């Protein structure tokens, strides 16, 4: 089970609304006011969403995305039992993923 990705789904007929919340600081590069040292940016740079092994979304993100990003979309042609795999990768090498059965 993912520690940083929350997924909510709502199915209606052959479509589903998918809502994702990713817990991540998404910080930009800044300077420590006391020491003057640069604090490096820390942000998600890749988000991938697959359904039943087929790629749906491959997103390249950057520093302009807010802390704890939220993503929502509607899928059509879904069936009960479809598997949705959500994963992300950040600029420091951290990753997380989760799988949800619709």
Judge whether 94 lies within some domain. yes
C-alpha closest to that of 63 among 23, 32, 90: 90
Query: How does the average pLDDT of the chain come out, rounded?
Result: 95
Q: What's the CATH number where 75 sits?
A: 2.60.40.10
Place 1 in a pLDDT band, splitting at 50, 70 and 90.
Answer: low
Judge whether 46 lies within some domain. yes
Q: State which residues form the domain around 15.
A: 5-26+39-101
Centre a 10 Å sphere on the Cβ of residue 44 and count the other Cβ atoms it contains: 24
Judge whether 57 lies within some domain. yes
pLDDT of res. 43: 97
pLDDT tens, position by position, 5-18? 999 999 999 999 99
pTM score above 0.85: yes
Asked whether the CA dihedral 67, 83, 1, 59 is positive or negative, the reply is negative
pLDDT of res. 19: 98
Domain total in the chain: 1
How long a stretch of residues is the chain?
Answer: 102
């Amino acid at each position: 089970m993912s520690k940083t990705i929350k997924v909510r789904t709502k199915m209606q007929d052959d479509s589903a609304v998918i809502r994702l919340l990713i817990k991540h600081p998404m910080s930009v590069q800044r300077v420590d006011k006391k020491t003057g040292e640069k604090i490096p940016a820390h942000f998600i740079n890749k988000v991938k969403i697959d359904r039943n092994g087929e790629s749906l979304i491959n997103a390249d993100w950057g520093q302009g995305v807010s802390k704890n990003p939220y993503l929502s979309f509607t899928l059509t042609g879904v069936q009960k039992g479809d598997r949705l795999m959500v994963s992300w990768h950040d600029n420091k090498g951290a990753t997380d993923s989760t799988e949800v059965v619709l």
